[in-house]
Structure 1
């Protein structure tokens, strides 16, 4: 069944008022001037979680000089006899690792700050770089049996429960404190309000249930799941000075179960940071730590389809924020405006697909796909996702428009296969039933490309191979394996139609993140297989078609480990570095004359653009700049 949500004007105003609260910018006004400086904050359950699961992003941000605050929920004391000594050692390891990553002496000042209702948090500041701070709340860790196991999980589930903090040896807060669920969220909200981060990094509160069965019921460390969920509440309650922060979530233990895409250089960097920490943690031993530090992945990557041409010659870019859907618009005369903060019917996962003026999104719990059409502002059509006992196991949808003009959706379903669904007719709010295409061990992140006669190509990756279905206008199809050579896919497949009508497939592999590219024609797969060196960093590339006047066969865009964007305009060609830095996945818009405009979200939350023009050596880019230039104050 599909359903429609239509907001009346009064309801829209009510939603906006409730989302913004006092002091928030009006939903249709641009963000206040000036935008806050870029500031990273990561909220993690234990000392070492950020080192293992958020690198190389964490080290890159520190070395770039952007202010960074690490917030640690528990003392990480485990169930050892000397909890005060062990938790103090782990925190000293965290100080050593941060100093190593920023390449400064391990010398910190230690103080406190209030976090509501008389409670205090320890705040440590690196003396050689005061923009680097660590905050410790010292809630009891999951294995601590003194107050009953699973304290953080029970705090999340039982609002009336109260727990007492652990006091590490030599802590700046020398006495135990009591916290209930509300107090934890209020403390995190107070920290976000005080530090005003523009990028917030969180752990995974919806881990893939196919992996880590040793963690019964949660498939991840329970503190990771509960801590991320509580932190998400705090982000929603946080009142930013300008615009809602960019939120990035990272997979945790299950990165050990999937192929790694990090380069050798990045693996060495993350190992060095963890080694600095592990010198203080007597329990941080064993090969399992290498399997975590050598891999890193976003849980819900934005991918590269969040900006596109819309109606009337306008270009629009969209981003999910804590308090709504941000929209920037470039008018036909070339001037950008925004961001507007559009109300949402419910919280969304970050990945969006923009098809003209239509936005395809997914509910936070994975049970629904939401389609926002441009014709009726405020209207969302709601399409039920594939049936599942646990809908959070449904992956983000891929979307395209077939040659009949109908939207087609494809989802990695809860069983680990692929499900596909089409509109009944172009522009309709009615949808055909889901078609099960089959497949096993399919990973999140699908790609759809229209074929002729209403058919679509569906691409998916397992941990060992890439699969393709060619699905006719009606009915199912058989999967075929796409040969990519000896490597294993270490990311989602990215497919796009090239100028000659062929379909190009790019997939990142476990050979240091190297990209393999294959070409599909009407006669089948070409024998040649080209490769691009791994761009570095986390995430998949973006492939963009050449447009009607395109000078390039296909434009490939990726973000490297330093946050800079790289572009290649021919198969197997070299990467051209175009600078940065931007968060997560950049997008690309092909202009009518064949030029390309790169679009990214800056670390300060602003929309950035980088226009590229045809030159003798390919595309030449002018450099990144804010899309919207706020008016200067008349001081």
Structure 2
């Protein structure tokens, strides 16, 4: 498809902002806030070049504020541009009120939600929710008209409203959700022009048009990072909550928007990083946001939901009254969880430590002459390394729900060969639960992935032998990616569960599962608020790392069997699970992100983790070293044989950056491009 050209359009300006202390009548307010014609002959403004652009593709106007933020606020503060594409009008029952007797106004409620999103972005970008926007009717080469909104005083900020009816079935009685359009059960979807929008025609679009629109926008904006909702939501554990779709803990429109987005991102194939953000499942996790992240997320949501008490004078309303606050709330707003964070790993190749990353949908290794594509299938942005093997997941986001593919593939760093290892559920709905994989190797190899609501599945390869079939390991539901270790001639797989940390231990044939009951705050079993990561200590013990529930602090546990001790290390903000590396002299490196999005690095001695004594959970206050970049994926860390610490992370420009500390030196603060 050719890149969209600047088109001569009729430009409309939205006059926003008020005059403090001036009392106006309702009629005067409506006039002051109306959309008026501007000069003819203006064209759609081009994206601002020279800064990385982050594109969010979501279903509803509040999705990026609930499920992607604080990431959006972080990259805006770092100087990036943003373009958020909202696929549906989000009109619900047409009432911007909890009063069921209020008259339905679908176009008016859609406009109120759009107003709220623009005001929230203006607040995040400029600190002024009432900063003015310019709005354009943008006919695309795909054949679809969209509304393009540009923040006048910060033109790096764009919002695109596609405004498809969310649920026309409220009127027609038919199933007209976005998922029906994706799966082919609905031939086309009707556009709902919001009140006072440049969109005026009640046109229709089919699936191919929506796909072409997203691809055209990707080609136009050339984003360094693409953020989507979750195409593979977790199955429901327990009672269905709120607006969850049957069987899965997310809104049905979130899933459909994510499937459209991932198909477009894969077809375009040029994003430095792609991330899926979990939706309603956040309410089933403990909160993982500290005040450094809750505050900006909550302020943006207060503006979006009109809880800031603004007297904007917009006839359709200044925001979405149906959002419960204050701030981020206590359900799915109290957490932010990216789905695929481990897109970078480090391994030794020919005596040198090299980073391996998922770039442009493929697995690549950074060598002396730049990036080298390792071949193999297109993969999700998730990797794990064990021994000389690399594990990745290939996905087919199909329109037929019975043919979804999420297969594990193994790459041998020695032979250069790929091997298909499949999926414990085969294809279809069950295959979508696999998540991220974990592997451990001591000559033998154990590979683990999430199975369903009741534990894990593993494949085991004996030394010099062939892989076994997938084996089901019963146990509790798993929140996030497991971690695997080879300890004392046996395998240990650990994972966060809804109320504990679970472990599966075995020799590759016989397995047992148990709750670890790690020491936690207030003498209670530790409850992680992130994936649990792990590293093996030379003396046979293990170090486990995660985020502490209800805040963003980092928890570190060391031990084996039934004996563990832990410490809590305060950290202001961050949403990524910590990465770990253990050096040849027993140094422990811990790397994650903080509330600004910067890499936060801590180097400890293993003895520091034992300060609370066996069974204790103490406080370890140590200063973190903050890097000078914003990261969007979990960093990778490795010690060289000389004790030098090497770090890699995907930054806000979508490229890999690196930092290094001399043996025994302080953690690095200065980062530079890896290429």
TM-score, scaled relative to structure 1? 0.84
| Partner residue, 1:456 | 491
Deviations 1:436-461 (A, max 9, x none): 442112222111121123x1222122
Q: Any conservation in 2 of the 1:75–1:168 contact (CA below 8 Å)?
A: yes
The alignment yields a C-alpha RMSD, in angstroms, of 2.5
Aligned partners of 2:196, 2:67: CA distance in 1, in Å? Answer: 28
Aligned partners of 1:465, 1:361: CA distance in 2, in Å? Answer: 27
- Relative to 1, partners in 2 of residues 1:478 and 1:215: Cα closer, same or farther, differing over 3 Å? closer
Deviations 1:500-527 (A, max 9, x none): 4431122222141222222215x8524x
- Relative to 1, partners in 2 of residues 1:282 and 1:624: Cα closer, same or farther, differing over 3 Å? same
Q: Please tell me whether residue 440 in structure 1 is matched to residue 472 in structure 2.
A: no
| Partner residue, 1:12 | none
Q: Please tell me whether residue 401 in structure 1 is matched to residue 427 in structure 2.
A: no
Deviations 1:260-305 (A, max 9, x none): 11102321221110010001112223689542221110122226x6
Q: Any conservation in 2 of the 1:465–1:482 contact (CA below 8 Å)?
A: yes
Aligned partners of 1:624, 1:144: CA distance in 2, in Å? Answer: 52
| Residue range with higher mean Cα deviation, 97-106 or 478-487 | 478-487
Aligned partners of 1:380, 1:589: CA distance in 2, in Å? Answer: 25
Aligned partners of 2:625, 2:359: CA distance in 1, in Å? Answer: 31
Corresponding residue SS for 1:293: coil
Deviations 1:116-159 (A, max 9, x none): 24432211111111101111111111365345443312211228
Q: Please tell me whether residue 232 in structure 1 is matched to residue 262 in structure 2.
A: yes
Corresponding residue SS for 2:413: coil
Q: Any conservation in 1 of the 2:494–2:532 contact (CA below 8 Å)?
A: yes
Q: CA deviation at 1:192?
A: 0.9
Where in structure 2 are the equivalents of 1:517-536 lying within 5 Å?
517-521=556-560, 524-526=562-564, 528-534=565-571, 536=573
Aligned partners of 1:480, 1:256: CA distance in 2, in Å? Answer: 22
Q: Any conservation in 2 of the 1:609–1:625 contact (CA below 8 Å)?
A: yes
Aligned partners of 1:309, 1:591: CA distance in 2, in Å? Answer: 9
Aligned partners of 1:394, 1:237: CA distance in 2, in Å? Answer: 23
In structure 1, which of residues 261, 268, 275 is the aligned counterpart of residue 288 of structure 2? 261
In structure 2, which of residues 222, 225, 229 is the aligned counterpart of residue 199 of structure 1? 225
Aligned partners of 1:139, 1:56: CA distance in 2, in Å? Answer: 26
Return the structure number with greater relative CO, CA threshold 8 A, min gap 6. Answer: 1
Aligned partners of 1:511, 1:117: CA distance in 2, in Å? Answer: 45
Aligned partners of 2:516, 2:542: CA distance in 1, in Å? Answer: 15
- Relative to 1, partners in 2 of residues 1:415 and 1:511: Cα closer, same or farther, differing over 3 Å? closer
Q: CA deviation at 1:419?
A: 2.8
Aligned partners of 1:501, 1:22: CA distance in 2, in Å? Answer: 58
In structure 2, which of residues 367, 377, 383 is the aligned counterpart of residue 352 of structure 1? 383
Aligned partners of 1:22, 1:356: CA distance in 2, in Å? Answer: 45
Aligned partners of 1:141, 1:481: CA distance in 2, in Å? Answer: 44
| Partner residue, 2:613 | none
Deviations 1:542-594 (A, max 9, x none): 01111x3x4x5211111112121111111434322233222120001212210
- Relative to 1, partners in 2 of residues 1:237 and 1:363: Cα closer, same or farther, differing over 3 Å? closer
Q: Any conservation in 2 of the 1:162–1:178 contact (CA below 8 Å)?
A: yes
Aligned partners of 1:84, 1:208: CA distance in 2, in Å? Answer: 32
Where in structure 2 are the equivalents of 1:464-543 lying within 5 Å?
464-472=499-507, 474-485=509-520, 486=524, 487-521=526-560, 524-526=562-564, 528-534=565-571, 536-543=573-580
Q: Any conservation in 2 of the 1:461–1:491 contact (CA below 8 Å)?
A: yes
Aligned partners of 2:285, 2:176: CA distance in 1, in Å? Answer: 27
Q: Any conservation in 2 of the 1:448–1:495 contact (CA below 8 Å)?
A: yes
TM-score, scaled relative to structure 2? 0.80
Where in structure 2 are the equivalents of 1:72-87 lying within 5 Å?
72-80=86-94, 81-87=104-110
Q: Any conservation in 2 of the 1:150–1:222 contact (CA below 8 Å)?
A: no
Gaps of 5+ in 2: 4-48, 95-103, 307-318, 396-403, 610-619
Q: Please tell me whether residue 576 in structure 1 is matched to residue 625 in structure 2.
A: yes
| Partner residue, 2:39 | none
Q: Any conservation in 2 of the 1:349–1:363 contact (CA below 8 Å)?
A: yes
| Partner residue, 1:627 | 674
Corresponding residue SS for 2:250: coil
Aligned partners of 2:233, 2:197: CA distance in 1, in Å? Answer: 33
Corresponding residue SS for 2:512: coil
| Residue range with higher mean Cα deviation, 141-150 or 500-509 | 141-150
Q: Please tell me whether residue 566 in structure 1 is matched to residue 606 in structure 2.
A: no
- Relative to 1, partners in 2 of residues 1:48 and 1:564: Cα closer, same or farther, differing over 3 Å? same
Q: CA deviation at 1:179?
A: 0.5
- Relative to 1, partners in 2 of residues 1:356 and 1:440: Cα closer, same or farther, differing over 3 Å? closer
| Partner residue, 2:63 | 49
Corresponding residue SS for 2:628: strand
Where in structure 2 are the equivalents of 1:293-304 lying within 5 Å?
293-302=333-342
Deviations 1:62-119 (A, max 9, x none): 1222101111101111232211111111110001100111234321111133322443
| Partner residue, 1:391 | 431
- Relative to 1, partners in 2 of residues 1:161 and 1:218: Cα closer, same or farther, differing over 3 Å? farther
- Relative to 1, partners in 2 of residues 1:497 and 1:218: Cα closer, same or farther, differing over 3 Å? closer
Q: CA deviation at 1:538?
A: 1.2
Q: Please tell me whether residue 164 in structure 1 is matched to residue 211 in structure 2.
A: no
Q: CA deviation at 1:208?
A: 0.5
Q: Any conservation in 1 of the 2:59–2:86 contact (CA below 8 Å)?
A: yes
- Relative to 1, partners in 2 of residues 1:77 and 1:469: Cα closer, same or farther, differing over 3 Å? closer
Deviations 1:176-204 (A, max 9, x none): 22210000010111111111101000001
| Partner residue, 2:460 | 422
| Partner residue, 1:60 | 74
Largest Rg, 1 or 2: 2
| Residue range with higher mean Cα deviation, 138-147 or 193-202 | 138-147
| Partner residue, 1:593 | 642
| Partner residue, 2:16 | none
Q: Any conservation in 2 of the 1:255–1:295 contact (CA below 8 Å)?
A: yes
- Relative to 1, partners in 2 of residues 1:217 and 1:433: Cα closer, same or farther, differing over 3 Å? closer
Q: Please tell me whether residue 338 in structure 1 is matched to residue 370 in structure 2.
A: yes
